[in-house]
Amino acid sequence: MSDEARAQVVTEEEFGRLSDFLYRRTGLVFGAAKHYFVARRLAERMAATRTGTFAGYYALLRRNADDEIEHLINAFTINETYFYREDHQLRCLTGDLLAERVAGRPAGGGIRIWSVPCATGEEPYSLAMWLLENWPPVDRYEVEIVGSDIDTAALDAAEQGYFGKRALMRLSDGLVEKYFVDRGNDSWRIREELRESVHFSRVNLMDAGETAAQGRFDVIFCRNVLIYFDDMSRRLAAENLYECLLPGGFICLGHAESMSRISPLFEVCRYADAIVYRRPWEDRR
The one catalytic residue among 45, 112, 149, 279? 149
Q: In which element (H, E) is residue 159 found?
A: helix 152-160
The one catalytic residue among 41, 85, 223, 234? 41
3 is catalytic: no
Q: Rounded to the nearest 5 degrees, what angle is found at the Cα of 56, between the Cα atoms of 52 and 60? A: 125
Bridge-based pairing of strands 267-270 and 275-278 is: antiparallel
Q: Is the dihedral of CA 67, 70, 75, 81 positive or negative?
A: negative
Residues 45, 75: contact at Cβ < 8 Å? yes
273 is catalytic: no
Helices 35-49 and 12-26: crossing angle in degrees, nearest 10, is: 90
CA distances from 41 to 3, 4, 12, 44 (A): 9, 10, 15, 5
| Cβ-based neighbours of 241, under 8 Å, separated by 6 or more | 205, 211, 220, 222, 251
Buried b (16+ CB within 10 A) or exposed e, 257-266: bebeebbebb
Instruction: Please tell me the distance from the alpha carbon of residue 146 to that of residue 83, in angstroms, as a whole number.
Output: 16
Active site residues: 41, 149
